[in-house]
Amino acid sequence: TNNVIDLESYKKIGRNQTCLCGSGKKYKHCCYNKEIQFTLDDDVKVVLEIDDTSLDGAKRYLRQTPSSAYTCKDFDVLGVQLHELGYKELAIKFLKKSLEKDPKYYLSWLNLAAIYNGSGQNEKSLEFIDKVPDGFKRKIIIKANTLNNLEGFEKVAHLYEKAVREEPDFHLAYIKLAWGNKLGSETSNYWVNLGFKNIPGDAELGFLWAREKFFRKEYEVLVSDKRIGKLKNQYEDQSG
């Protein structure tokens, strides 16, 4: 029986669906609201004590799943979530747990590299990046960010351009190219136009596109573009 519960699937399961633990019973008659106790390591216990509702799904999963059934993905997802919430050291521990299970779970190497890059430990970041084979998704952008800190934008611009070619629907490389090139230049204009064309729903790309048009005094283009209006409506809806 496969009793590995995928974190995202677990959050969505209905009470009348078959329980994901593998028992064959309905969820409401099995693991629903149960606090099944398994041997938990100290790091998991720390997570269970964090008072943050955004971790409720993860905490239910950690309580109700045998520690031997935790997967690389589980540790990786939790590590990223903890880092976003500001628990850097704890996040690093869970990403390393992922790699202890499988050193070839390359996403965890890159997430570790991103954390160390974000805290200025660029050499450490490069060590982790080098563990990942070329062509793996997001390797090039994280390497570019790290080398940007060490060598400056001009020496890594070609890496950001390569990242766009490899993943044209990911916003970060466009943003780095927009900020790295001189405002109003043909190069800057090219990248914000391409980025906003490929990802019209991205708010930061929308801002950079509008900033570029305003600087170039392309006012008619700016006020007539419907994408900006959509972003404004989207922001107002989210703001309540």
Separation CA 78–CA 73 (nearest Å):
8
How many residues are recorded in the chain? Answer: 240
C-alpha atoms less than 13 angstroms from C-alpha of 178 in its C-beta half-sphere: 23
pLDDT tens over the chain, length 240 residues = 334 444 445 556 677 888 777 778 887 677 655 444 445 678 988 999 999 999 999 998 888 877 778 899 999 999 999 999 999 999 999 999 999 999 999 999 999 999 999 999 999 999 999 999 999 999 999 999 999 999 999 999 999 999 999 999 999 999 999 999 999 999 999 999 999 999 999 999 999 999 999 999 999 998 899 888 888 777 666 555
Q: Are 76 and 108 in contact (CB under 8 A)?
A: yes
Contact 101, 72 (CB under 8 A): yes
The pLDDT assigned to 1 comes to 33
Which residues are bridge partners to 26 per DSSP? 18
Query: Cα separations (Å) of 31 from 7, 15, 90, 175?
Result: 14, 10, 27, 45
Q: Which pLDDT belongs to residue 211? A: 95
Contact 93, 43 (CB under 8 A): yes
Q: Can you tell me the distance from the alpha carbon of 143 to that of 159, in angstroms, rounded to the nearest whole number?
A: 8
